[in-house]
Amino acid sequence: MTMPNYVKIVEVGPRDGLQNEKAMVPTDVKVALINQLTDAGFVNIEAASFVSPKWVPQMADGADVMARIQRRAGTLYSALTPNMKGFEGAIAAGADEVVIFGAASEAFSQKNINCSIAESIARFAPVAAAAKEQGVRLRGSISCALGCPYQGEVPVSSVVDVVRRMRELGCDEIDIADTIGVGTPVRVQEVMRAAAAEFALDRLSGHFHDTYGQALSNILASLEVGVAIFHASVAGLGGCPYAKGATGNVATEDVLYMLHGMGIHTGIDLEAVVRAGDYISQAIGRANSSRVGRALLTKWAAASDAAPACV
């Protein structure tokens, strides 16, 4: 298998990242972040969640965010939709893609969306049917594909089972998500290969949280089996409110640096993403978790200190 020469990065910071902030992030800040990410060249940005505001209050302003962002033709703005109420909200807000999100672990399904895996599929069915009817792109996300905070080990067969069910619902893309970042490369390859036996490899994505520092290695391992879509979060923002101790997604800046260094194209301007990462870290008063972001910001600051003063 040769490595892909183009990779699609789905920027999930505005959703997966900001959903986990303790303090409420002002809508203006979310909008400014998404606009900066749009300008950086992403073709897909996960911008909002249409979930219960009692469960995830941080995402309650999704409709406002979607209404106020400046959209760019060629960029898809996605939204999480656990049920028909969420779907209706997302469509009214002009989402280009809706995301149904299930799990490969029963325990996590209960904690995250308050129902069993089978019940979740039943709730997703009308969402999927409505998305197809309205010509909206449909993505399926599978949490805990590499391990579960409540159940521990998750068999590959459980992941494959949900991949199959999401394929049957008509998903255009399916995410293999390592919610708590416990996966390691050989296991990741095993899961990706098994998923690819059920679903088109070029529409499978890797969504790796970096809790155990394995995410870049897991992306490289996935590239080796031909996966060419990855999720990442600017400045490494995030976690999951229903997975205690889970840290953010792999930082977008770090993924871009690795891919560009390998000669793999993304169409994204790394420097613009570093600036967006600096913006959001300062705006919410959080340390920037991107190694590449910190390195480049330090280098730029040193270069500007050394520059002769303009006269």
Total residues contacting Mg ion by CB under 5 A comes to 1
Check binding of 210 to Mg ion (CB under 5 A).
no
Q: Which range in 26-34, 79-87, 129-137, 155-163 contacts ligand HMG by CB under 6 A?
A: 79-87
Burial class (CB in 10 A: 0-12, 13-18, 19+), 178: buried
- Residue from 69, 240, 250, 270 touching ligand HMG (CB under 6 A): that is 240
Q: Binding of ligand HMG at residue 50 (CB under 6 A)?
A: yes
Residues 163, 161: Cα–Cα separation, whole Å:
5
> Per rule CB under 6 A, is residue 83 in the interface with ligand HMG?
yes
Size of site (CB under 6 A) for ligand HMG: 28
Q: Kindly tell me the sign of the dihedral angle through the C-alpha atoms of 24, 28, 30, 36.
A: negative
The pair of structure tokens assigned to 201 is: 């490899």
Q: Which of residues 88-107 bind ligand HMG (CB under 6 A)?
A: 89, 101
Q: Name the DSSP letter for residue 13.
A: I
**Phi, then psi, of 139 in degrees rounded to 5:** -120, 145
Q: Minimum distance between the CB of residue 297 and Mg ion, rounded to whole angstroms?
A: 25
- Exactly one of 10, 11, 16, 81 binds Mg ion (CB under 5 A); that residue is 16
Q: Is 293 exposed, middle or buried (0-12, 13-18, 19+ CB in 10 A)?
A: buried
Active site (annotated) includes residue 240: yes
CB of 133 to Mg ion, least distance (A): 28
* Candidate list 49, 78, 109, 266; residue touching ligand HMG; CB under 6 A: 49
Q: Indicate the burial class of 265 (C-beta count within 10 angstroms; 0-12, 13-18, 19 or more).
A: exposed
Is position 16 an interface residue for ligand HMG (rule: CB under 6 A)?
A: yes
Please provide the DSSP assignment of 98-141 as one string.
EEEEEESSHHHHHHHHSS-HHHHHHHHHHHHHHHHHHT-EEEEE
Closest CA relative to residue 200, chosen from 229, 177, 159 = 229
Mark 108-137 with x for binding to ligand HMG (rule: CB under 6 A) and - for no binding: ----xxx-----------------------
179 binds ligand HMG (CB under 6 A): yes
Contacts of 301 (CB under 8 A, 6+ apart): none
Judged by the rule CB under 6 A, the positions of this chain that interact with ligand HMG are: 16, 19, 49-52, 54-56, 80, 82-83, 85-86, 89, 101, 112-114, 141, 143, 177, 179, 207, 209, 240-242
Positions marked active-site: 240
User: Which residues lie near Mg ion (CB under 5 A)?
Assistant: 16
